[in-house]
Structure 1
Amino acid sequence: MATAKKGDKVLIHYTGTLEDGSVFDTSLAEDDCCNDSDCDCDDEGCGCETGPLEITIGNEDFFPQVEEALIGMAPGEKKTIVIPAEDAFGEYDEEEVFSISREQFPSDIDPHVGMELEFTGDDDEPIGVTIVEVSDEAVTVDANHPLAGEDITYEVELLEIR
């Protein structure tokens, strides 16, 4: 039976979980997916993806650790890969949490905790932030990735070598 090697285009199913077992990303549709009025399946990573992912091993289409684990696998095989925080979304950095005075905050935005915004950095690159605190004087935002500081686990199944 053929096994996957670097450069092969493959089809995989995957499920990404956190240490507490919660799913943060999957290519598998949940049984009751999108029967809920709050579900927006246009959101990447909403857990409602339906269908496998096609990647080319070695092209860094996915986490390199997952791509490396696919090498030598045959269709139908499954593997579990644990990726430490520093190799996943990075360690949580307290310096990425900062406050902006309400006077500097755009007046057309009514900030609330959990709101996600995109700012432009000094180098004109977009910076995604999440509001973590709102007061009369300031809005505190967190520019860490939402999964920063989290070890993640992927279970992958090689479906097909194309």
Structure 2
Amino acid sequence: MSNKTVVNDSSIMMHITMKLSDGSAADSTKVNNKPAKVNLGDQSLSPAFEAQLLGLSAGDSKEFTLAAADAFGEVNPDNIHYVDRTKFSETPAEVGSIVTFTQPGGEIPGIIREVNDLSVTVDFNHPLAGQEITFAVDVVEVL
């Protein structure tokens, strides 16, 4: 293990555990014991999240809470779509189900929020959008 510390443009192997404001666990890389590799400066993390990692070294742990805007973003009403119910003839539309739509450039998952006689409401926001999230990070290695 080296004594490198996290700086801008660092790559880090770390375990990340996310908790909701009620304390329940939303997700954790520890479940499968597969740390995540994150790259600071590549726009995949919010600036507020990156700022919490600066100065950490391998073996360090830190817990911090980010507002929705700095975690997975606010809920964007433009990401909620009403799809004709007939589009769900092969797979029944059930509230809470995750469905995947093919778009140019890849697939996009959405959560079914409502089903009525004519349409299905599909929410394409990140499932944790609009929520304050507490992150617990354990730095495995600074690359």
**How high is the TM-score relative to the length of structure 1?**
0.68
Whichever of the two has the greater Rg, that structure is 1
3-state SS in 2 of match to 1:158: strand
Partner residue in 2 for 1:5: 7
Q: Residues 114 and 131 of structure 1 are in contact (CA less than 8 Å); yes or no, is this contact kept in structure 2?
A: yes
The number of residues matched between the two structures is: 140
Alignment match of 2:39 (pick from 47, 53, 56): 56
Identity %: 34
Per-residue displacement from partner, 1:96-144 (whole Å, max 9, x unpaired)? 44433334x24222211122223356xx465432222223333222232
3-state SS in 2 of match to 1:153: strand
- How big is the alpha-carbon RMSD for the aligned residues of Structure 1 and Structure 2? 2.6
Q: 2:91 aligned with 1:89, yes or no? A: no
**What is the alpha-carbon distance in structure 1 between the residues aligned to residue 100 and residue 120 of structure 2?**
14
Cα shift at 1:26: 1.2
3-state SS in 1 of match to 2:15: strand
Q: Which consecutive unaligned segments of at least 5 residues does structure 2 have? A: none
Q: 2:119 aligned with 1:141, yes or no? A: no
**How high is the TM-score relative to the length of structure 2?**
0.76
Q: Which amino acid in structure 1 is aligned with residue 11 of structure 2?
A: K
Q: Which amino acid in structure 1 is aligned with residue 116 of structure 2?
A: S
Q: 2:89 aligned with 1:107, yes or no? A: yes
3-state SS in 2 of match to 1:81: strand
Equivalent runs, 1:7-156 vs 2, <5 Å: 7-29=9-31, 49-94=32-77, 96-103=79-86, 105-119=87-101, 124=104, 126-156=107-137
3-state SS in 2 of match to 1:86: helix
